Structure 1
Amino acid sequence: MKPRITDWARAGGVGIAFATGLWTLLTGRAEQWWVFALHGVAGYGVALLLVPKLWRVRGRLAPGLLIKRAWAGLASTLLVLAVIATGVAWAGGAHVVALGYNALNWHILAGIVLTAIVSLHMLLRARPLRR
């Protein structure tokens, strides 16, 4: 998959996950199960798209070669993993509490921060898709 397509697909996945996440907070009813399912699919899609992204940038992550921008990317990757881990934990019924907040609270916070970072990144660096 071309790098730009991977990047735009990840950004789109984050956008869909954010929108459906807000929707689940507003509905929260059993008949809206498909919104929760779409939210989960978007999250797993973002996670799967991390594989080609990390493969592409692996040379920049070698010890001793971490540049300033690579640290930001590494932190973003850890944030994505935190969003996914807390979402899976909450959906799986885990009652994890850290600093007085449960996994859903951490999932929401990390998701909002991730969406803000991806949006800022797109404004500063994104390039349009080409044919």
Structure 2
Amino acid sequence: MLEQNFLDKDELQKLFNIAFVGCSRGFVPEARTVFSKILEAVPDHRAARAGLAFTHIVVDDFAPADEILQGLLAEDPDDDDSRGFLVLSKFLQKDSDAVDVAMKEFRSLDSAGYRLASSLSEVTR
């Protein structure tokens, strides 16, 4: 088990990055384990919660992903990164109504989340 005082902020960030890249390359169970361990050590680590949601999205397990992301957005409506992942989830579910609603709720058109979500419209052109 990771302990919060065992790893500093930079080390946690490195673990997060490794897990995210691993998930993107198909190491989903391993990434999910890393995100879960980060959350054991730092339960309010928002990026790890979003990463855990991503591990569900990539395997089409949308209900838990949406639940995590909706929780993050309920805590912080300005969280465009979580909103971007939610748009990705809804896009993959072919829920265009939910995508349209979420696209109108972005706080910043310069955010990484908005760029992710808007790039999905490029896929459908």
The two structures have a TM-score, normalised by structure 1, of 0.33
> Relative contact order, CA 8 A, sep 6+: which one is greater?
1
Higher helix share: 1
The two structures have a TM-score, normalised by structure 2, of 0.35
